[in-house]
Amino acid sequence: MKLQRKLLICGLMVLPLTAVASNEENDKYEYIPTPVAEQKADLIDDDGDGVINARDLCITTPQGAALDNDGCEEYIDVSNTLALRILFDNNSTYIKPVFQNQISEMADFLKEYPETSIEIQGFASIVGNSDKNMLLSQNRADVVRQAIINNGIDPSRLTIVGFGDTQLEELGDSEFAHAMNRKVVASVVGYKGEVKMEWTIFTKIGK
């Protein structure tokens, strides 16, 4: 009886080992190599804008620019305005050194916006003869025009007009009024298209 119990216990111990060995054999599969992807189209993106060369019509897109469906940067209209105001002594067309910086700034502005042109307006105070004041105002405008030309601007972009003492900025017969009316002014608006930038996770914020 004791012998039968021992044989039964031994049989129960051997059975799980046999089952485990059988499962390991069933779990073995033949090795299947990793498939190699065959690229049938050119997916190169030289300018890194997310549009492949095969359909990118603008292959030098500025980094960070907003794009249209053809991979080209989008532009927005930007305008900027610059005013010129130069005062003169009585019966004078001499541009004082303090106003030379305005001349340079206007020339730089016109270079930045090459499609713009300006009208330079000359004025005079009520001191003196009206006919002479008209000629004086024209000469003042012409002197400023020539100064801008000397800074590298095409003469065809600059026109002048003299108003004499017909359009006074300051009324009255005071020295202050006369000084404010002896002037040359000009105002110009420049337009140009700038690339519209698009925010991405790589955009850096200035600190």
Domain ranges of the chain: 44-73, 75-195
Query: SS3 of 95, please?
Result: coil
CB atoms within 10 A of CB 175: 11
Tens of pLDDT, residues 133-163: 999 999 999 999 999 999 999 999 999 999 9
Lookup result for tokens 């001499």: 94
Q: Could you report how far apart the first and last alpha carbons of the chain are, in Å?
A: 91
Other beta carbons within 10 angstroms of residue 203's beta carbon come to 9
| CATH H-level superfamily of 75-195 | OmpA-like domain (3.30.1330.60)
Q: Work out whether strand 183-195 and strand 118-122 pair parallel, antiparallel, or are unpaired.
A: antiparallel
DSSP string, 29-44: ----PPPPP---S---
Q: What is the pLDDT of residue 122?
A: 96
The whole model's pTM is what?
0.59
What would the pLDDT profile of 115-137 be if each residue is shown by its tens digit? 889 999 999 999 989 999 999 99
pLDDT per residue over 40-82, tens digit each? 556 666 656 566 665 555 666 666 666 666 667 665 556 688 8
